[in-house]
Structure 1
């Protein structure tokens, strides 16, 4: 063998050894990565297991809350806590400003949505064009201003914040009992969610010896209620403000109904003040605890055992998780950077409308995103949708409303503790077909041991009072009748 052949063979051996070393290194790296992933999974499962164990064995104590904490500007001046009439005004200057912004948008060269994608990429330009056209040519500012003011409205200062609310008292005969009902709205909803329900709630109906005095507040930071000037106004703190508002109106005992974030506030209200809340009606009945989440995950082994005939609301597990990942991006954004998105939305009424319409579309019925028009006209009139958008725009409240999610996220440990505390208040759950969340009755009873009943509708979404006011009112009457029967 010549020198050249020996040299080639030596180089070949070296290359082969290098490849073996690299392969071994890759294999070792792979083992290290797998070990790291396994270690992290073990830690994650251990933390979850501990939290579930803690849920099962430990009931948190009720945190001490300052019932008079000031959320407004610090001032030595005495606050005016009187109840003042309030009226919504669509000013001429606002009208002119909006018309100018509409014209700017109308003249802008717009990127068209893809064909055959419907709302799977978000709001479709053609569908939005129809709503925008209605806004420009058919939405009567004067008529809608009258609609906003169809009920008596007031503001009063509670814990440093001017709180706006609608207050409607029924006209009844002496033999009919009047019971106070506090209605708590959702996001991106407003007090307007209940405008069509209010006349039905305040009207006597056959088979019922009671009727409602309705109080519908704009939650702090929403609509015409002031937002906090400092961080910390989480759902349990808002619950305290709502309770103090009811005391201001001379109601020491009352019923509560809420959906979406209104459910969060209502659940905390019932937990903190069980001797005041006579009954709690939730259109979003869910228990957001680690124990409930683990039950959901393990239930994938036998879905019907966990959810019975409603198994499709929780399973297949993989499909539900993918859906939540796709549709929960707004939650992460609002829970981390609310002011960033708030500035962008408040600057443009068209941008604000697009953002809100996308959420109403999916929260009403997830299948809407496959409808070229977003399915919105099947559930709401364009005037109703635009009214709700105008509520945010004319009040300038979109940023402060988004902060609700960050405050909730930042106060997670306390809110989680509230979710684990059994609430003795009589409770009723209204389940709708397209709710994002679902808890079986046995899970609801972990939080609400006095669960009087539940209703399941094969229709409806998160904004059930806005979408189907008659059906919502029917269920509230049925629930309160059951609550009253417990006293006999």
Structure 2
């Protein structure tokens, strides 16, 4: 009798999946809003594209150093490593390097190696990096690609990936023209001046940006917040986004199929196409899906409720800001790094690159506005329209083993109905583009090759 009930439940879930898969997909809708200071002014919008170069000054560095010199260290608990957060003793070593050896002027030059621009959209000055291939061999297709970062990252996450995508490997194939914008409120993009600026609003602005740059069709890539922003872009204009590549895709909302797969997947893995990797990352469910997220989501509850309170403290203290941001580059790269005295920070990243990302937040003064993005996006919870709307553009997913949340292929397909590529990656965590640029570039190329072949076959 129990087996019959289970089979009936599974068949019901599959029927639900098939019906939803083939019904006419909804398109996400939104309206124009003004996010600048005051009300929208009368007259034509300024569509000028202005070159932007990052700079620094003696005064900026003197202020930074003075604040660092006045920090008040707190002793760490014995044998605590990173289990209580950023280990205070190791933090002193990082701060000493930052204060005495880190060369911000040199890193500013590195940031400026690629062309930067700003343009005003819906009242906000939007910053972006725009890199074109220096050489496009005859017969090579030039493909526009927008890549969107997350928190506590920035456009700088893509600096190791950009040259791998903009340098053609073989004639007769394709090469990318890359656009890396800063989400408004992050990096050097102006922060919204009104409440309600969420991922859908960001997606709308980025569509306007790509159109302003002359792209009628393009590919999109994202992880962390970049995942939902690019997903929203595909939902808003599915005919404009040629393909969507993701390296993070948690379920938008719990559904019948997801629930059944969790309940029955361990006993009937083949029924849900669960792999040994899926079983290892999902079970025991209580620990993997409940306990572990609780250990790593305290920041999210703060930022989704009262971001301005902690934001004010972090905006005043470079040491506090570094501890808050860099702790994520430790535990989100590998949860095992919590048990290391140095948090494993330099096992996958250089201290110069990590501190450059921190300096982008510090010099732009954007930590508070970046955290507000959580409150705006979580305020509507599961009632957000995009949570129930599937994605119908071709999608590729790179499944990195140390990601914060593991998403089996079945769960990805529930949202992304045209999943053409699902790649279990050999290594890597949440900051995959920065941690494993070679693997990321290879998978993006593989995905785009599949989509381009399908397009060619239809022509």
TM-score, normalised with respect to structure 2: 0.90
Q: Give how far 1:274 is off.
A: 0.4
Residue 213 of structure 1 is aligned with which of 163, 177, 198?
177
Alignment of 1:70-219 (within 5 A): 70-73=34-37, 74-76=39-41, 78=43, 79-105=45-71, 108=72, 110-171=73-134, 172-206=136-170, 209-219=173-183
Corresponding residue for residue 283 of structure 1: 247
Which shifted more, 349-358 or 119-128?
119-128
Corresponding residue for residue 4 of structure 1: none
Deviations 1:185-214 (A, max 9, x none): 011000000011111110011376100000
Q: Give how far 1:147 is off.
A: 1.1
Q: Is the 8 A contact 1:55 1:290 kept in 2?
A: no
Distance 1:208 1:335, change over 3 A: farther
Q: Is the 8 A contact 1:223 1:392 kept in 2?
A: yes
Corresponding residue for residue 26 of structure 1: none
Q: Tell me the SS of whatever aligns to 1:487.
A: helix
Using the alignment, how far apart are the partners of 1:144 and 1:263 within structure 2?
A: 27
Of structures 1 and 2, the larger Rg is shown by: 1
Corresponding residue for residue 25 of structure 1: none
- Alignment pair present for 1:464 and 2:432: yes
Alignment of 1:5-404 (within 5 A): 61-66=26-31, 68-73=32-37, 74-76=39-41, 78=43, 79-105=45-71, 108=72, 110-171=73-134, 172-206=136-170, 209-291=173-255, 293-295=258-260, 297-299=262-264, 301-302=266-267, 304-305=269-270, 306=272, 307-310=274-277, 311-320=279-288, 321-404=290-373
Distance 1:340 1:421, change over 3 A: same
Q: Give how far 1:64 is off.
A: 3.3
Structure 1 spans left out of the alignment, 5+ residues: 1-52
Using the alignment, how far apart are the partners of 2:74 and 2:372 within structure 1?
A: 31
Using the alignment, how far apart are the partners of 1:219 and 1:432 within structure 2?
A: 24
Using the alignment, how far apart are the partners of 1:422 and 1:76 within structure 2?
A: 36
Identify the structure with the greater helix proportion: 1
Q: Is the 8 A contact 1:426 1:452 kept in 2?
A: yes
Residue 440 of structure 1 is aligned with which of 403, 408, 420?
408
Using the alignment, how far apart are the partners of 1:245 and 1:414 within structure 2?
A: 28
Q: Tell me the SS of whatever aligns to 1:290.
A: coil
Using the alignment, how far apart are the partners of 2:199 and 2:221 within structure 1?
A: 15
Q: Is the 8 A contact 2:245 2:396 kept in 1?
A: yes
Corresponding residue for residue 482 of structure 1: 450
Q: Is the 8 A contact 2:139 2:171 kept in 1?
A: no
Compute the RMSD of aligned alpha carbons. Answer: 2.1
Using the alignment, how far apart are the partners of 2:387 and 2:35 within structure 1?
A: 24
Using the alignment, how far apart are the partners of 2:53 and 2:234 within structure 1?
A: 31
Deviations 1:135-162 (A, max 9, x none): 0111012211101211000000011111
Q: Tell me the SS of whatever aligns to 2:427.
A: coil
Using the alignment, how far apart are the partners of 1:462 and 1:84 within structure 2?
A: 33
Deviations 1:150-182 (A, max 9, x none): 100000001111100000111212321101000
Q: Is the 8 A contact 2:401 2:428 kept in 1?
A: yes
Using the alignment, how far apart are the partners of 2:323 and 2:268 within structure 1?
A: 37
Using the alignment, how far apart are the partners of 1:470 and 1:447 within structure 2?
A: 27
Using the alignment, how far apart are the partners of 2:171 and 2:115 within structure 1?
A: 28
Q: Tell me the SS of whatever aligns to 2:304.
A: helix
- Number of residues of Structure 1 aligned to a counterpart in Structure 2: 432
Deviations 1:348-379 (A, max 9, x none): 01000000011121111110000111001100
Q: Is the 8 A contact 2:152 2:325 kept in 1?
A: yes
